[in-house]
Every structure is written in structure tokens, then in C-alpha cells.
């Protein structure tokens, strides 16, 4: 069965290095927290708010050993008034036998308030 693993992180500035490091930190945390291996992943979607455009956050996945062939796509997050800014979000589509409540979603930095219930 395919399950979605959600995650988000904020950056303090629109800088290529900071975006890449933050996206890599987020992905590593999501992967580690859920014991995900590349062969179990169907795809990864990564979105960023309009104010995060100095780099493709999806490039961070290529810094992870063994993740070369996993399809990844960047997209823009909806620009809703009052929504969290400077934010990178990720969704990993993973084949797993885990139940929904066993999935560990990851929210870091300023993104911790997005899903306080998790």
C-alpha cells in the first residue's frame, strides 16, 4: 500500500545554500523517522512558498546516497493570505505496511505549528 509521509521546514532567508541544507535536513529526518528505503518510494513532491525561489529544494535529494533514481518534483505552494512563509513542504509516497497512525510526519523550525496535533 502507498502511504504519504508529510514534512515541512522553514528557512530564514532565500539563499541557495540554506534552501538546499534545509530541504536535505527535512528529507533525512522524514526518511530516518519512518525507516524509508529508496526502493520503497514511488515519488516525492516538494513544494515551496513564493518567497523561496533561489534554488530547487528537490536537488537536496540527490545529496542522499542511493536516492538517484527516485522521481522527485518541485512545485509552488498555494499563496494563501496569512499562510506560513519561507516554507518548504515535502510528501514522500512510500510503499509500506504501516498503518496511517504509525507514519511519523516531520515538522521542523517554524513549520512545527502547521500540524500541532501530530
CB 24, CB 117: distance < 8 Å: no
Catalytic one among 25, 65, 107, 109? 107
> Is 109 known to be catalytic?
no
Catalytic one among 6, 25, 28, 104? 6
Catalytic one among 3, 18, 74, 104? 74
Catalytic one among 25, 28, 62, 104? 62
Stretch (H or E) spanning 29: helix 16-33
Among the listed residues 56, 38, 39, the one whose alpha carbon sits nearest the alpha carbon of residue 47? 56
Spatial separation of the C-alpha atoms in residues 69 and 75, rounded to whole Å: 19
Catalytic one among 3, 89, 102, 104? 89
> Is 87 known to be catalytic?
no
> Is 115 known to be catalytic?
yes
Nine cell digits for residue 116:
500541532
> Is 6 known to be catalytic?
yes
**Could you give the residue numbers annotated as active site?**
6, 62, 74, 77, 89, 107, 115
Amino acid at each position: 500500500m502507498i502511504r504519504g509521509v508529510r514534512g515541512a521546514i522553514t528557512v530564514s532567508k532565500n539563499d541557495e545554500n540554506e534552501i538546499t541544507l534545509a530541504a536535505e535536513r527535512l528529507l533525512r529526518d522524514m526518511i530516518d523517522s519512518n525507516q524509508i528505503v529508496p526502493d520503497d518510494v514511488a515519488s516525492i513532491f516538494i513544494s515551496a512558498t513564493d518567497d523561496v525561489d533561489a534554488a530547487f529544494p528537490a536537488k537536496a535529494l540527490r545529496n542522499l546516497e542511493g536516492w538517484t533514481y527516485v522521481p522527485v518534483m518541485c512545485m509552488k505552494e498555494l499563496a494563501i493570505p496569512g499562510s506560513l512563509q519561507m516554507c518548504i513542504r515535502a510528501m514522500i509516497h512510500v510503499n509500506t505496511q504501516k498503518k496511517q497512525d504509525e507514519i511519523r510526519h516531520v515538522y521542523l523550525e517554524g513549520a512545527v505549528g502547521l500540524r500541532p496535533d501530530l
